[in-house]
Amino acid sequence: MALPAETGPVLAPDRLSVWPIEGGRYGLDATYHGTTGFERAEAQRQRLQAANLSVSVRQELGDDWTLRLGPLTHSAAWTAIEAFLGPPGPRTGRPVEQP
């Protein structure tokens, strides 16, 4: 299953955090910085909610906005990470270049 999060320099998060939750599930935060942080986080939130995913945006200190996903199963957490970063490239582990 692919998530509709957008990858690339415009909508990719500035920081991505994953942590374990009870029951083998995970939480994921995608944080966006700067003057466009809210717009980028909100654009991702709308895309993810349109796919019926539980997601929220919260303001941090300064110009930081965090998109929170979860709780996610192990496989859903990996899917979410790839949705934000893109899949790894063959053998090198580097992201595949997006056209």
Does 81 fall in a domain?
Answer: yes
Does 59 fall in a domain?
Answer: yes
The separation between the first and the last C-alpha atoms of the chain, rounded to the nearest angstrom, is: 21
Does 8 fall in a domain?
Answer: no
The per-residue pLDDT for range 44-92, each reduced to its tens digit, is 888 888 877 788 999 998 889 999 998 999 988 888 888 787 777 665 5
Three-class SS state of 77: helix
Rounded Cα distance between 27 and 18, Å, is 6
The per-residue pLDDT for range 15-26, each reduced to its tens digit, is 999 999 999 999
Tokens 């920081």 belong to residue: 15
Q: How many domains does the chain have?
A: 1
pTM over 0.95: no
The residue range of the domain holding 73 is 15-85
Does 22 fall in a domain?
Answer: yes
96 backbone dihedrals φ, ψ, rounded to 5°: -75, 135
CATH code for position 81: 3.30.70
Give the pLDDT of residue 48. 83
